Amino acid sequence: ISSSSNGPKAEPMLLDHDPDDLFAEATEEVSLDSPERQMILSDGPSPAITPVTINPRADVFDLSFVSHENRDTFDIQISVSDPEKVGDGMNAYMAYKVTTKTSLSIFSRDEVCVKRRFSDFLGLHSKLASKYMHIGYIVPPAPEKSIVGQRLGRRSSAVTELDPDAKACLCCRYLLRTVKQPALLKDPDVLQFLESSELPRAVSTQALSGAGILRMVNKAADAVNKMTIKMNESDAWFEEKQQQFENLDVQLRKLHASVESLVFHRKELSVNTASFAKSAAMLGNSEDHTALSRALSQLAEVEEKIDQLHQDQACADFYLISELLGDYVRLITAVKGVFDQRMKTWAKCQDAQVMLQRKREAEAKLQHANKPDKLQQAKDEIREWEGKVQQGERDFEQISKNIRREVGRFEKDRVKDFRVVIIKYLESLVHTQQQLIKYWEAFLPEAKAIA
């Protein structure tokens, strides 16, 4: 928990059961079987990702959640802190301290602290994406330096290159989103990332960084476009959802650009307030009349304090709202990715069916050709492709099921995350006003004392 007194106070969020959870009774068959996985995969309420403190001057970004799920309670606290430069010159990089505190049994210790560099995060994401995206899991997007893709609005983002603190916060939110996904929490790569002191250097992190994901998504989209047979969407749900996500994507990007403008102007206000404070101080120093001079100096001090409030509020604007929107823009990309994966899976299934048909036709022809070994081979091939068709159909069913569940989870989380942010933001607003009241009440007698 941050010890800074400047940021708004915050409490960890406690979330309750969601009796209306549509998928509470769904039981999943997953291709990677493990009875433990099954239990974790059954849906319960999932917690929201929320920054507990938003003061970047604090060393620790403590983002935590507590969730009550079925009869089990599991809690995990992750913080990413102490960005420090390691090495120099061309090989220099930023290393972060990742601290995990948990009571979950899958972890070997209650508290573990490791050092990770930024590419390690990308490496983790790339592994997870390659394992889970194609079966329909929305894998949290890699912590990116900037919003991938097109930027709406003329103003180029004031925060495309994040400072180390903001990056640490981003990485932390990434980890939290990852672990709160039941399947991913148990993944050995995730556990290794959080626990082992040495991590093999992720070499091909280019492969599935955010840009990499986008490339993969684009490739899938291309594959979809190249399909000669348009997918018969037997399930209107998918079509509707895809459209909704398209709309949401556009809306979120617009909102994000809007907030960036807000942050920018707030910072400008801080600069101007500081400048005014200085000029008031100089005026106070030159004034002969003692009480007036004193009052003017107090005015300057009040304005300096107000400047500080502006800076804090700009942080709130940024970390609470701007980053939330940014996260969701990135998440939508991941969501769109899974939908495209489903299309790809369907295409594969179709291809298998076509191939099976061809093999059957070939076999039929060979029936009358009296070539027994070729016939046998043909029969073998038919069996093989029958198997592939069945597998393809299973895969398609599976990914469709997974996506439905994942989308439901995403939509619930979305509401929770935004709600938490609104509350935190209001808390910061209330705090600011209360500080202002203090400052003005202190200044009033000074002004009245001018004789």
Question: Does 239 participate in binding another protein (rule CB under 8 A)?
Answer: no
Using the rule CB under 8 A, which residue among 95, 255, 355, 366 binds another protein? Answer: 255
Shortest distance (Å) from residue 383 CB to another protein: 44
Q: How many residues bind another protein (CB under 8 A)?
A: 60
Nearer of residues 68 and 215 to another protein, judged by Cβ: 68
Using the rule CB under 8 A, which residue among 258, 308, 353, 377 binds another protein? Answer: 258
Map residue 271 onto helix, strand or coil.
helix
Q: How far apart are CA 87 and CA 266, in angstroms?
A: 36
Question: Does 57 participate in binding another protein (rule CB under 8 A)?
Answer: no
Q: How far apart are CA 399 and CA 183, in angstroms?
A: 14
Other C-beta atoms closer than 10 Å to the C-beta of 152 total 15
AA identity, residue 350:
Q
Shortest distance (Å) from residue 359 CB to another protein: 43
Nearer of residues 261 and 353 to another protein, judged by Cβ: 261
User: Under a CB-based contact definition with an 8 Å cutoff, are residues 234 and 132 in contact?
Assistant: no
Nearer of residues 134 and 431 to another protein, judged by Cβ: 431
Nearer of residues 116 and 424 to another protein, judged by Cβ: 424
Using the rule CB under 8 A, which residue among 70, 218, 244, 367 binds another protein? Answer: 244
Question: Does 448 participate in binding another protein (rule CB under 8 A)?
Answer: yes
Using the rule CB under 8 A, which residue among 113, 227, 292, 366 binds another protein? Answer: 292
Q: How far apart are CA 450 and CA 216, in angstroms?
A: 70
Shortest distance (Å) from residue 336 CB to another protein: 17
Q: How far apart are CA 205 and CA 211, in angstroms?
A: 11
Q: How far apart are CA 262 and CA 314, in angstroms?
A: 8
Residues 81-120 that bind another protein (CB under 8 A): none
Using the rule CB under 8 A, which residue among 11, 233, 235, 268 binds another protein? Answer: 268
Map residue 94 onto helix, strand or coil.
strand
Shortest distance (Å) from residue 223 CB to another protein: 28
Q: Which residues contact 234 (CB under 8 A, 6 or more apart)?
A: none
Q: How far apart are CA 400 and CA 231, in angstroms?
A: 14
Q: How far apart are CA 404 and CA 11, in angstroms?
A: 33
Q: How far apart are CA 151 and CA 142, in angstroms?
A: 18
Q: How far apart are CA 226 and CA 222, in angstroms?
A: 6
Q: Which residues bind another protein (CB under 8 A)?
A: 16, 240, 244, 247, 251, 254-255, 258-259, 261-262, 264-266, 268-269, 272-273, 275-276, 278-280, 282-283, 286-289, 291-292, 295, 299, 321, 408, 411-412, 414-415, 418-419, 421-423, 425-427, 429-430, 433-434, 436-437, 440-441, 443-444, 447-448, 450
